[in-house]
Structure 1
């Protein structure tokens, strides 16, 4: 079993980073120049989204159905280190996971989660990705929710304890595995959340419940699309307030681009949409 200490250090570092953003201080390595977005093979425009506060959901009246232009993307041109269809080898360890961690997701009941090694985490590019893990004839699919810092090696997965137990007895501590990116079935639609402290002057935008890894997020500013930089804690930042509260375009690694109509800037509120990326 891996010691919890490295994760504790990672969480402390994460809290320091988040606090720094909340008070609107510049953070090295995150600020960047926004660039104009480009077109993608698939564009879907959502109807007006529902808003979720706790367990209550309010769905607005139906509007014009979404318009979708479909094309078959070739490969995954926007993928980072984790390429679909590429089988990776490594080892799996485990830790006590509650589904929270460096990706800034809320703790949840799903025990099938994994912390990704730093090399493959890719500045949060792996957050929300699903990977199929195989070991000794057994297989599970887990969601990336956290970062596994050194001494985790490239290719290593630090599984939630319950996920590890489905592959091998926990007494083994570490097992050889192969793993690959997958695009699983889901009944969920993507959701958007503005970060604590967000306003018209500064905002952080997070995408939730996406089937495929998110490669890019753009906001509409004066009729133009501008790409936002991604923080290592999995929020896309508009540090000068540009686009906060406007339309949002989310693109996955396959180039499918979903356009979400303007949402109110409501910090820490999960706002549902009617959209989801295609399965691959």
Structure 2
């Protein structure tokens, strides 16, 4: 028979084990899930382990990528032909040297006729035996700028005549109107018609004549007026050489002379410019009033 002390020692550990068992049972009993083990569906899944759901057959498949189009080669542009540079004539006309009456322009108006007498007129070219002349209306006369111009006048019946402008037709002559010599008008219509509609264009006619220079009556080294006579193309400018060897442009008068009121350039070299921009230089002419002095020069035909 064991001693009482040894028996007491064995009972104490058993009591402790029983107490621990009771505590564990109480913990399990008080859990919210009643102590049941969570299922696989309740077990939380780590985000890193989440696998995206495979799309079902009801979802549309993504469209295949479009093929990249092959770029077409850019055609090499053909070189454009170089534009022909403007001629001196067109440059001169564009600079308004021609004034109101321009080359290659057809003007409309009327034709009448008047008694030309000895052929002298406002342009002061003097008497002439040339009967194919005309007076330009006041507007297109343009301060005698039309003097010496050759124009071809055409009627509706197909007849035409070439005349030289030697006079001015004052108002009420309308723009476009030409007052012809009786002989020139008769080339277009019977004189009984009196007035007919016409068209006319500027000419640069063939001629063997040369230009002459005339100083007006009363001209000297201290005052002078001079004009050019017999020029093929209308005259745009007349200049004289100044003492400092520069060119001075003289003002044109209604009576077709270029005036130097202070005498500058009187008796010196003269430079003529036509409406096409061509220039001619005349040297060595003395001041000889009311005398035609030949130059041996002429503008080119156009």
Q: CA deviation at 1:72?
A: 4.2
Size of the alignment, in residue pairs? 210
Aligned to 1:276: 298
Which of 202, 205, 225 is the matching residue for 1:204? 225
Aligned to 1:257: 279
Aligned to 2:209: 188
The residue correspondences of 1:106-185 to structure 2 (distance < 5 A) are 106-135=126-155, 136-185=157-206
Gaps of 5+ in 1: 1-70
Q: CA deviation at 1:262?
A: 2.7
Aligned to 1:87: 106
Higher relative contact order (CA 8 A, sep 6+): 1
| Aligned counterparts of 1:221 and 1:263: Cα–Cα separation in 2 | 15
What is the root-mean-square deviation in Å for CA atoms of aligned residues?
A: 1.0
Name the TM-score, length of structure 2 as normaliser.
0.68
User: Which secondary structure does the structure 2 equivalent of 1:73 belong to?
Assistant: helix
| Aligned counterparts of 2:132 and 2:181: Cα–Cα separation in 1 | 6
Structure having the larger proportion of residues in strand = 1
| Aligned counterparts of 1:237 and 1:228: Cα–Cα separation in 2 | 6
Contact 2:88/2:276, CA 8 A, preserved across alignment:
no
In terms of Rg, which structure is larger?
2
| Aligned counterparts of 1:275 and 1:258: Cα–Cα separation in 2 | 7
139-148 vs 76-85, which deviates more? Answer: 76-85
Is it true that 1:74 corresponds to 2:74 in the alignment? no
User: Which secondary structure does the structure 2 equivalent of 1:250 belong to?
Assistant: strand
Is it true that 1:217 corresponds to 2:238 in the alignment? yes
Contact 2:88/2:277, CA 8 A, preserved across alignment:
no
| Aligned counterparts of 1:143 and 1:247: Cα–Cα separation in 2 | 28
| Aligned counterparts of 1:103 and 1:73: Cα–Cα separation in 2 | 25
The residue correspondences of 1:241-256 to structure 2 (distance < 5 A) are 241-256=263-278
Q: CA deviation at 1:218?
A: 0.3
| Aligned counterparts of 1:195 and 1:107: Cα–Cα separation in 2 | 15
